[in-house]
Structure formats: structure tokens, C-alpha cells
Structure 1
Amino acid sequence: MRKEFSAAIEQLAQEDDKLIFITGDLGYSALENVADVLGPRFINAGVAEQNMVGMAAGLAYRGYKVFCYSIAPFAVYRCLEQFRNDVCLHNMPVFLVGNGGGYGYGIMGSTHHAIEDLACLSGLQNVNTYIPAFADEVAPMLSQILAESRPAYLRLGAGPKTPDDSETIGTFKHIARSTESLGTVVALGPVAANVLTALQDELLANQFDVFTATNLPLDLPAELAHRWAGKPMLVVEEHVSTGGLAQQLSVKLLADGAAPSHFVSLSAQGYPNGLYGDQKYHQQQSGLDPANIARQLSGFTFN
């Protein structure tokens, strides 16, 4: 999604002279076009993420809209206090951008993974997090972030284009329709592609509707809550379940009196065997691979 991100930022920067972009010494061979367009509005803060966010807050106070870019764990964990105190509590237009969400940086290990980032950020005051599942969602999300001009986090990964005939319902997207609508899968981020691969099985494809959630904290439309009530549900996310999609969605469903008949959460399990590998390896270790998703769906029973 970096290509789509840099192209969208380049366009937005030409339209808004109050846009500033700060990088934490990352983005080489990916953001040169952004640097060329922004000129002095493109700032390399160096390996100093806390200073980067503090600087961004000061610029936002003076009327600028500031993007802070790094890989996801550095953008979130290193400067969480600064983002909370300097940005969120004052509702400033500072936008964190984290590349390689989840296990995106693979073999580089746990220090370069972000599997708790949304839990850290979605509970903060005034913040909205954006989690594109597909590459073509990045540009409209960036436009929305700028239009809202409130604290935000954009979690980038690697995803294909949105499937044809997808339908947006609030902050959810209906990406695959079944013929029988017996159950529901809700995915978060690019791991949605693994769900679609699992549903190449025709029987499963006929039974399960697939949705993605695009934002946390979660805003669940009543239309969806009632549609999902009483049916089995599988939640798939490359994030720990605590504070993630599964926990937030289950609370919303129970509060709306729309509990599913059966609820299964597939989420990031950390490092079960203490080893590191590429992103697909960690997805398999956590049961987020297409084969396990298909097994889980095959195990559901319907009323």
C-alpha cells in the first residue's frame, strides 16, 4: 500500500499548502516523490519518533495538518505518551502512519511487529484509526483523515484491490456475498485476503457473508447488528484479540441485543514457538492462514 499512499499524499500536498509530512528517517525508495512536491514541508526528524510527534503537535497548534510516518511499531509504541498528551488530549490534526501493521516486517522479529497497536490507540481521546484491507482504500481514507482533521492513525499493509460489487455500510464493507447467508465473517485489514482465499471452497462461499471493518474504535450500524444476530460469526484479525476487533465487536453486539449464535475469534497469538519467520509463517502460527480459516468455517453448525 506504500505506492498508493505516496501517490495520494503527493496529490493532497499539491491541493493543501497546510499539509506537512514528517518521517522518522524511513521511506527511502518510496517517498521521494512526496519530498519533491513538499519541499521544505517534508521533514526528516531522524530516528527520534518522540521528538517527531512533539514537533508535529507544535506545528498543528499553528494551523498545519501533519503526517508522521514510520514503520508501525516505531510510529505507535515509541511515542505513545507524546501522541496521547500533546495530540489526542488537545484534539490536534496530527496523523500517525504506520507501515507494515501486524506481522508485516516478518523475519525482523517482535521489535518490528505491531500486533497491539490498535488496542493502544483506539482507546485514546478523540482518535480514529483507519485499517485498509485493500490498496485502493488508502486514498479515500487519507482524504477523510484530512477532512476530519482530528488525531488519527493509518495502518498500512499489503493488500490487493477491493473485490467487485463491494458495498460500504457505515465503517464496514461487505466484500463477499453468499447465497444462503447462514453465517458471517468479519475481517480487519489485509488478512481479509486470506478469508477470500478460504472461501474459494464453493460450499463455504455459499454459506458465509464476508465483511471488513475499516475503523476502530468500532461504530456498528444497527442494520448490520440485526443482520448478524443469531448467526455464527468468525472474526479474523492480525492483531491481539484484547482491544482489537473481536473484543470491540462482541461488546457492541451484546449491547445491541444482537448476539451471534456462535462466536470464534482468530487473532495474533504472538510467538507460540519462540521463532520468527515471514508474515505468512506468523499468520499460520496464529491460525490466520486460509487453511485454518476454512477449517473453522467448516466446523460451524447452523440453526
Structure 2
Amino acid sequence: MRDAFANEMTALAAERNDLTLLSGDIGNRMFDRYKQVAPERFFNCGIAEANMMSLAAGMALSGLRPVIYTITPFTTTRCLEQIRVGVAYHQAPVVIVGTGSGLSYAELGPTHHSLEDMAILRTLPGLNVLAPADSIELVAQLKAALNDSHPTYIRIGKKGEPQLHQEGSQLGIGKANLLRDGSDLLVVGVGPILGEALKAAENLAVGGFSVAIASLGGVKPLDDTFLRSMAERFPNWLSLEEHGITGGVGSALLEWLSGQDVQPIRLKRLGVPDVFLHELGNQSYTRQQLGLDADGLVRTFRQQIEAQG
């Protein structure tokens, strides 16, 4: 996903002279082509993320369209006050991109895990909070964010994530899509972890279980029309996120359901438990330990279907 981000930023920089890229001392070689196109609109702000956020807010309020890029915890929780006061309060149209979200940097420990970012940032008024499932969704959301008057946060993976969306999907801010249709269970989630859900659904199909997989694209705003259509079809939902179980996709869906006049929905939340992870391994190992890999999801999906009778 990060390569797709760099490529799209390079293309966009050639089209518009207000686009500015700020990096928190990361991805310098990755942005070599961007710097050839717009050398005067690239700023390596170093390991000073709070200052970088304030700089971006000032740029946005001066007519530029700044995009911030660095590792997720460092561009979110490290500079939360600057996001809240400098960006969200002033509705400065800054695009904040957090790379290596979720457990992408699992082996580096809790300092590099981003399992609270969506929960925290979705409480800030007027801030879009997006989590594309693949590079196709990322590119669409980036373009939409740069043409939106609100600030936007986009959490992305690291590299090597599979393409999950089909060409022609309706993508952007607040746009949800079915990645796979089904009838027994609806899995509603965000981010590249949905690739594991698709594998699990394919495995379960051999045994006659039918699981639908939906990408919400983010947690704020939610696609009200899409969710209403799913509520008419599925009474059995499971939320999935590579994020803490508190405050993310599952919590956003529970809040949405509480305000809707729809049929009763049974919703089980699935994500990272409400603990710091001290046992270290790579992303695949950590997903397996948490039951968030395809094999673990097969067991959870089957249990959820069988529990409804």
C-alpha cells in the first residue's frame, strides 16, 4: 500500500501545484520520484511529528493541500493535541496518512502497534477516519480526501497486501462495498485484515457455509445506505478489525445500530483484546496467536453461524 501511496502522490503532484508532502523522517527513497516532480513541495520534518502537524495545519489554512506521512502511532497519538487543536478545531484540510497500521510492525512491540488510533481520532469533530482494505481503495480515498473540505486520517498497511476490491467498486469517503456475498453471516470490517476473512470464507464454503464480507472503508463517516441494506438481509453480524476491540469498527457499528429502526441484529466484535501485546513476532505470527488469521477466523465464523441455529 505504501508504494501505491507514493506513486499516486507523484501523479497528483504533477497535476496540482498546491499538493505538499510532509514526511516524519521516513520513506525518503520511496519519494525520490515525487521529489523529481515537486522538489519544493517535499519536507522531511524529522522526528518532530507535533511540529510537523502544526506546520501542515498552517499550510492548509494558507491554501495548500498538505499530506502527512509517517508510521501510524507517531502521526496520531504522539501529536494528538496538534491534530485536535491545529487541524480538527480549525477544520484545516490536512490529510494524515499513517503507514504500518494495526500489527504491521508487530515485531517492534507496543510502541509501534497502532491499535487505538481509530478509536481516538473518530471522537474529533469533523475528522474523516478511513481504513482502506487495499491499494485500490487507498487511491480512491486519497483523491477524495484531497478534494474534501474536511481533514482526513487514512490508516494504511505496509507492503504486499493483496488486492481485494473488484474494478468498478464504488470507493471513496464513506463508501462501503461487498467483497464477497453470502447468506449465513455478514462480516463487516476495514483494512487489509479482510484478506484473511476472504480466505476463511472460501474455506468455509467447501463445508456449505456462506459468509458475506464487507469493507466499510473506514469508521467515520459510515455508509448509512449500505448498512441499512445489509440490516435488511442479515440478522447475524461480525465486525473485524486489526485494531483494539474498544472504540473501533465494532463500537462504531454498535453506536450506529442503537440509533436505527432496523430488525434486531446480533453483532459479535472481533479484534485485538484490550491488552498490550508483550509476546513479539511478525504480523502473521501475531495474527495467528490472536485468532485473526484465516484459520482462526474459520473457527470464529463457524461458531457464529452455528450459534444462531
TM-score (ref. length: structure 1): 0.92
Secondary structure at the residue paired with 2:145? helix
Determine the C-alpha separation between the residues in 1 that align with 2:298 and 2:170.
Answer: 25
Aligned to 1:207: 210
Q: Which runs of 5+ in 2 are unaligned?
A: none
- AA aligned opposite 1:149: S
Determine the C-alpha separation between the residues in 1 that align with 2:137 and 2:229.
Answer: 26
CA-CA distance at 1:72 after TM superposition: 0.5
Q: Detail structure 1 runs of 4+ shifted over 3 Å in the superposition.
A: 163-170, 203-206, 270-273
- AA aligned opposite 2:2: R
Match among 164, 176, 188 for residue 186 of structure 1? 188
TM-score (ref. length: structure 2): 0.91
Match among 278, 285, 296 for residue 281 of structure 1? 285
CA-CA distance at 1:214 after TM superposition: 0.5
Match among 170, 175, 181 for residue 177 of structure 1? 181
Aligned to 2:259: 255
The range that moved more, 266-275 or 98-107, is 266-275
The range that moved more, 211-220 or 18-27, is 211-220
Residues 165, 49 of structure 1: CA spacing in aligned structure 2 closer, same or farther, 3 A cutoff? closer
Match among 291, 295, 299 for residue 295 of structure 1? 299
Match among 210, 224, 227 for residue 224 of structure 1? 227
CA-CA distance at 1:153 after TM superposition: 0.9
Secondary structure at the residue paired with 2:193? helix
Aligned to 2:127: 127
Aligned to 1:136: 136
Determine the C-alpha separation between the residues in 2 that align with 1:6 and 1:123.
Answer: 29
Answer yes or no: is the 8 Å Cα contact 2:245–2:269 preserved in 1.
yes
CA-CA distance at 1:77 after TM superposition: 1.2
Determine the C-alpha separation between the residues in 1 that align with 2:208 and 2:4.
Answer: 30
Identity of aligned residues (%): 31
Secondary structure at the residue paired with 1:263? strand
Answer yes or no: is the 8 Å Cα contact 1:66–1:94 preserved in 2.
yes
Match among 235, 250, 263 for residue 246 of structure 1? 250
Aligned to 1:152: 152
Residues 134, 273 of structure 1: CA spacing in aligned structure 2 closer, same or farther, 3 A cutoff? closer
What is the aligned length? 301
CA-CA distance at 1:200 after TM superposition: 1.8
CA-CA distance at 1:287 after TM superposition: 2.0
Determine the C-alpha separation between the residues in 2 that align with 1:204 and 1:257.
Answer: 34
- AA aligned opposite 2:19: L
Answer yes or no: is the 8 Å Cα contact 1:218–1:249 preserved in 2.
no
Query: Once superposed, what is the RMSD of the aligned Cα atoms?
Result: 2.1
